Amino acid sequence: MLSVFSSPSRYTQGKNATESLGREMERLGLEGPVFIIAGTSARRELAATWKLTLGEAGFTYTVYAFRGECSVAEIARARREAEATKARVIVGAGGGKVLDTARAVAADMDLPVVNCPTLASSDSPCSALSVVYDEHGAFEKYLFYRRNPDLVLVDTAVIAKSPPRLLAAGMGDALATWFEARTCVGGNVRNMRGGGSTLSAAALARLCYDTLLADGVDALRAVENQVVTPALERLVEANTLLSGLGFESSGLAAAHAVHNGLTAIPDTHAMYHGEKVAYGLLVQLILEGQPRTELETVLDFLTRIGLPCTLAGIGIQDPTRAKLKAIAQRATAPGETIHNEPFEVTVDAVIDAVLAADAVGRVSRDSHPSPQ
Ligand SMILES: [Zn+2]
């Protein structure tokens, strides 16, 4: 097996980075017309800056108002409009669904893509894949693209104004990166690009975890006060770049598969991706029989950040056998990343670990009555 490391061509981050969007695109040799797929808040916050920065760099552009769901119909609609403008580069600006749509449209049209996340809520912006959900919000499949984004540009002044819960969710997603990478590296299994891991990807995954523990609480406080601090800068890099490179180039294991399982029941649909991944991580650590001290470090972090660590916390007030079975069956479906674990994972083992995670999570929650 060859080792494969996959990353965006360029990653640019900082306060008011949007002001440099045109120059960064120009430096990469990208050419217009530009087709911007943008969510509502991105249009409100960034439209005036796009006019300046893209105008200065000589790009003509069109802004497309994203309609809220990364569905097959929305991808087709955006593509038709992009074709009508003779677009030569696609820019996605907004949350995860906007960026997923932008990557899908760019892949369909074989065009370069620029991702400008307005949230640091997941590990997806740097990757060459999208997660597709059905119309009920249940995980459907991963969609893989040939190329990673040409540019990922993260404006931390925009992230500082985003809801704190979404930054915390991004930390939940990023928290699993190192543990899933460690499992994949240990088992010598294939990463998300079909190759083996590298020293680089594993080191970045570890740095992701260390950065979360060091800066997570301070970064959350910065966003609660809508300010940009060095801790927030480091944490945004961990949630977006380190977690993205770590998961794509080292691989996923039980935590994300349990997330996919949790989406199989409607109870969890109000919860964010990273909140469910955080719970999935507890399940993974229990399945793997990891030491108590490691579990306690993770639980302590989740509690301090205010991330859920119980079934009730992720919306499952009444964990019936039928619900647990639906979760475990989806999590262990053929091809799921849970099979990257170095032992056979059965439906029963997942049900037991899901319940055991809830039990340790309740003890942790009750011993830290108020978050932080
Ligand atoms: Zn994720």
CA 321 to chain centre: 30
Tell me, in angstroms, the distance from the centre of ligand 1 to residue 173's CA.
Answer: 5
The answer to whether 172 touches 309, Cβ cutoff 8 Å, is no
Residue 372: per-residue pLDDT: 41
Measured in Å, residue 328 CA sits from the centre of ligand 1 at 18
Tell me, in angstroms, the distance from the centre of ligand 1 to residue 49's CA: 30
Distance 62 CA to ligand 1 centre (A): 30
Model pLDDT, residue 141:
78
> CB of 36 within 8 A of CB of 91?
yes
For 217, the token pair is 């609480």
Q: Catalytic site residues? A: 173, 256, 259, 273
What per-residue confidence (pLDDT) applies to 137?
67
pTM reported for the whole predicted model: 0.94
pLDDT of 271 reads 94
**Quick one: DSSP state of residue 340?**
G
How far is ligand 1, taken at its centre, from the CA of residue 50, in Å? 29
Residue identified by tokens 């915390």 is 168
DSSP string, 264-327: TSGGGTTS-HHHHHHHHHHHHHHHTT--HHHHHHHHHHHHHHT---STGGGT-SS--HHHHHHH
3-state secondary structure of 328: helix
pLDDT (tens place) for every residue of the chain, 372 residues total: 999 999 999 999 999 999 999 999 999 999 999 999 999 999 999 999 999 999 999 999 999 999 877 788 889 999 999 999 999 999 999 998 899 999 999 999 999 999 999 999 988 899 988 877 776 767 777 788 988 999 999 999 999 999 999 999 999 999 999 999 999 999 999 998 889 999 999 999 999 999 999 999 999 999 999 999 999 999 999 999 999 999 999 999 999 999 999 999 999 999 999 999 999 999 999 999 999 999 999 999 999 999 999 999 999 999 999 999 999 999 999 999 999 999 999 999 999 999 999 999 999 888 875 544
Q: Is 72 helix (H, G, I), strand (E, B) or coil?
A: helix
Place of tokens 């007030």: 317
Structure tokens at 16: 């008011």
Rg of the chain over Cα atoms, rounded to whole angstroms, equals 20
Written as six digits, the tokens of 339 are 């099979």
Determine the distance separating the centroid of ligand 1 and the alpha carbon of 120, expressed in angstroms. Answer: 12
Instruction: Report the candidate in 123, 61, 107, 116 with the shortest Cα–Cα distance to residue 86.
Output: 61
Distance of alpha carbon 218 from alpha carbon 224, whole angstroms: 10
Distance 122 CA to ligand 1 centre (A): 6
